[in-house]
Structure 1
Amino acid sequence: MSNLYVLYEHAAGYALFSVKEFEEVSMFLPQVESSVTDIAKFNSIVKLAGFSPFKTAVAALENVNAISEGIVPQDLINFLDDFFAKLKKKKCTLGLGDSKLGAAISEAIGVQCSHFGVVPEILRGVRYHFAKLVKGFTDQSAGIAQLALGHSYSRAKVKFNVHRSDNMIIQSIALLDQLDKDVNTFSMRIREWYSYHFPELAKIVPDNYMFAKTAKFIKDRKTLTQDKLEELEQIVMDSAKAQAIIDAGKMSMGMDISIVDLINIELFATRVVNLSEYRKKLATYLHNKMNLVAPNLQSLIGDQVGARLISHAGSLTNLAKYPASTVQILGAEKALFRALKTRSNTPKYGLIYHSSFIGRAGLKNKGRISRFLANKCSIASRIDCFLEQPTSVFGETLKQQVEDRLKFYESGDVPRKNIEVMKEAMEAVDQEVAEVAKSEKKKKKKKRNADDSVVQAETNGKSNGKVEIEAEAKNGDADGEPKKKKKKKKNKGAIEA
């Protein structure tokens, strides 16, 4: 008959609990399940056998990181060795929640481990009543320990990688889409608002951003004279339009407006202009980020469509895992499930419909080109995800392949084989890497030469100073007085002897 001991890993340390009458308990599993929440019943089955607290918070974090990866930490090995050495030759079974950790412990100390049967229910009860099973422990202290270790563990797991900062792309494209909606709504509102005063302006200036800038500049149409023609030309970028605005202002059918209303319109127009300008800056930021994170996907289908694919997938890694068939209908999930439910035709494209290639294809070839484009998007995303040195060569090559396929659908020109195109792309990448390495080598050589010249100049300066000091020592001291020559004493008696 073997004794069962259950190992529980807490934020405060390792705890071993002995389970009384293991064989009988395992037979009455439903009763055990019902008694888990009752501390009196559970205490009659489970008793604390040993407890090894962590010495520091750093040690706790190291142990938790090791256990999460299925590695047995040295602290746990020492604790289990000391405990099972006292039991001598008794047959024991160690219950754990993780089978991977159990296999590692069995290999390390030779104790039989189990993770099924009654063990999960015992662990559930230990987790529920842990603060009451260990002396000197409270719910509050257990919670503080868990919270501190949870923060440390999460902080260690959340890592920032410069080359894979696709979460910035996800946030950028979400904000860009929201800004597009808001700017369109606000522009429509300012058109309606300002048209009470100057209705003719909406027909002359159809662009929303330019309309807001023009309304902000004009304010009261009665103040619009020929003197403002040059400034108006700079805003609308057209001399004919600027003249038409001035002429329309003189003959406008709009109502008169108060100063307070004009001030409010001007403030709102300023907000719309600022939002439009920020939207342009955000588009530039997204372009730069896509160039860093997914240059091949960017070259193939553009910034916004590529960013939407990454955002919808959740990350660039998730997008790289998707097959081409999933990439093709990504964003059209509702239509897909509706088609499967009603047994009608499934959608041919999702987010990639906004790509220019599908718009240029004929009505019959839209499904074909979307399938081909999804295939190339899948390849581009995988290259971007797993390539160490980012490059846009493959994206440009894949884009050319899609162009050739469009020509094939239109004129029948047979495109080149994929293997030939990819070989050329690989050669171009190798050549690019060689050029980069060569330029870095030249830079290092120049830096080394510059350092050598600095060292040589310093040594020359030191040697010149040494020569000058020696010359001064020969000629005289710092005051200019010549040094007296040492007289050699001649011992005449010694010479005669």
Structure 2
Amino acid sequence: MRRYWFGDIDGSVCTPAQGDEDRILERCDTIREKVDVGFVPLSVDEACNCGFFADRAEYLARLRSITIRDARKKIVEAFSEGDAELIQMVRMLDEMDEVINLLTEKAGEWYLVKNPGFSRKYKSMSAKRMVGVMKKERGPLGKICAEIDALSNHRATLMRDISKRTDAVMPNCSALVGGLVAARLMERAGGLSTLAGLPASTIQVLGAEGALFTHLRAGSPPPKHGIIFQHRRVHNAPRNVRGKVSRAVAGKLAIAARIDYYRGEPDPEFIERAQQRIDAVGEKE
């Protein structure tokens, strides 16, 4: 007996599939046809001769409707995963960083036009403190700086929310390198499933694609780390062992991502062994 999405054919007996489109999609998931050298797919004419469809136009219309429903179902499933929202949260955080930095820079230039004598202090002040000073200005500049300060507070809240959500979606990666770094790695990879399939060498340089392509094209020194440089164990490591530490972190992250994707639950024993291994690499030199 040969099984197809629209029905079964057993010799000269044709049995149409029963149920609505959702039932037909469930049926499609159960069909496993062995494709060998002599395999010939069912023609539209044969399907019509069996009485499943009146003509080719009806066959194509029904097939189109089924495939569209299947695509919608898969899209809903993909966006219902926890990492889909987390990706958008990270991207929003990055956009907020760019907006805050640009507005702060432009507001600083505006403030210096009004207060030329402030130029020496401006160079040594942090951006946040500079915004606090400019907020005291009367008029539009002060109002804009107040908005920048409010946006910075929203940014801080979003960052905390990202860390909390990462703890739920990627508990082992989050425990290993922190929620924000883990979320940025997942966003750059394109999702938890993709991150779980990457080798450690790729995870190590995620976020350093520009430097990697320059190395391949011009022969410059290869990058030793990308986003994982934001993790304290990497950026606090001495320069002579930073590459080794980043490799160790990336190796453990590759395993942690797989645990998060396939199990979805914390593994404290693995995290403890991984932390000890990373610490040991940093203490060797």
- TM class, shorter-length: 0.7 to 0.9
1:354–1:388 distance in 2 versus 1, CA, 3 Å: closer
The CA deviation at 1:199 is 4.2
Amino acid at match of 1:219: E
Name the counterpart of 2:149. Answer: 273
2:169–2:264: 8 Å Cα contact kept in structure 1? no
2:148 aligned with 1:187: no
Amino acid at match of 2:191: S
1:70–1:54 distance in 2 versus 1, CA, 3 Å: closer
Which of 130, 133, 150 is the equivalent residue of 1:211? 130
Name the counterpart of 2:193. Answer: 317
Amino acid at match of 2:106: R
Matches for 1:458-477 after TM superposition, within 5 Å: none
Alpha-carbon distance between aligned partners in 1 of 2:56 and 2:255, rounded to the nearest angstrom: 56
2:263 aligned with 1:365: no
The CA deviation at 1:280 is 0.7
2:54 aligned with 1:62: no
The CA deviation at 1:288 is 0.3
1:187–1:272: 8 Å Cα contact kept in structure 2? yes
Alpha-carbon distance between aligned partners in 1 of 2:56 and 2:254, rounded to the nearest angstrom: 54
Amino acid at match of 1:297: C
Alpha-carbon distance between aligned partners in 2 of 1:54 and 1:394, rounded to the nearest angstrom: 49
Q: Deviations over 1:461-496 (max 9, x none)?
A: xxxxxxxxxxxxxxxxxxxxxxxxxxxxxxxxxxxx
The CA deviation at 1:318 is 2.2
Alpha-carbon distance between aligned partners in 2 of 1:324 and 1:310, rounded to the nearest angstrom: 13
The CA deviation at 1:299 is 2.6
The CA deviation at 1:306 is 1.4
1:138–1:318 distance in 2 versus 1, CA, 3 Å: closer
The CA deviation at 1:312 is 2.0
Could you tell me which runs of 5 or more consecutive residues in structure 1 were left unpaired when the two chains were aligned: 1-5, 17-48, 72-99, 104-111, 221-261, 410-497
Relative to the length of structure 2, the TM-score reads 0.76
Alpha-carbon distance between aligned partners in 2 of 1:62 and 1:113, rounded to the nearest angstrom: 31
Matches for 1:392-407 after TM superposition, within 5 Å: 394-407=270-283
Alpha-carbon distance between aligned partners in 1 of 2:219 and 2:114, rounded to the nearest angstrom: 55
The CA deviation at 1:385 is 2.5
1:333–1:273 distance in 2 versus 1, CA, 3 Å: closer
Q: Root-mean-square deviation (CA), in Å?
A: 4.1
Alpha-carbon distance between aligned partners in 2 of 1:300 and 1:396, rounded to the nearest angstrom: 9
2:66 aligned with 1:149: yes
Name the counterpart of 2:205. Answer: 329
Matches for 1:415-430 after TM superposition, within 5 Å: none
Could you tell me which runs of 5 or more consecutive residues in structure 2 were left unpaired when the two chains were aligned: none
The CA deviation at 1:351 is 2.5
Quote the sequence identity (%).
25
Which of 174, 190, 197 is the equivalent residue of 2:114? 197
2:208–2:223: 8 Å Cα contact kept in structure 1? yes
Q: Deviations over 1:205-238 (max 9, x none)?
A: 823234334433x234xxxxxxxxxxxxxxxxxx
The CA deviation at 1:176 is 1.2
Name the counterpart of 1:166. Answer: 83
Q: Which has the larger radius of gyration?
A: 1
The CA deviation at 1:391 is 5.2
Name the counterpart of 1:246. Answer: none
Matches for 1:25-104 after TM superposition, within 5 Å: 56=19, 58=20, 60-67=21-28, 69-71=29-31, 100-101=32-33
Alpha-carbon distance between aligned partners in 2 of 1:201 and 1:343, rounded to the nearest angstrom: 45
1:161–1:269 distance in 2 versus 1, CA, 3 Å: closer
Alpha-carbon distance between aligned partners in 1 of 2:213 and 2:188, rounded to the nearest angstrom: 17
1:383–1:51 distance in 2 versus 1, CA, 3 Å: closer
User: Is the partner of 2:33 in helix, strand or coil?
Assistant: helix
Relative to the length of structure 1, the TM-score reads 0.47
1:201–1:394 distance in 2 versus 1, CA, 3 Å: farther
Name the counterpart of 2:39. Answer: 115
Alpha-carbon distance between aligned partners in 1 of 2:208 and 2:198, rounded to the nearest angstrom: 15
1:160–1:390 distance in 2 versus 1, CA, 3 Å: farther
Alpha-carbon distance between aligned partners in 2 of 1:373 and 1:293, rounded to the nearest angstrom: 19
Q: Deviations over 1:152-174 (max 9, x none)?
A: 43444333798x61122211211
Alpha-carbon distance between aligned partners in 2 of 1:176 and 1:346, rounded to the nearest angstrom: 28
2:224 aligned with 1:348: yes
1:268–1:54 distance in 2 versus 1, CA, 3 Å: farther
The CA deviation at 1:329 is 2.6
2:170–2:264: 8 Å Cα contact kept in structure 1? no
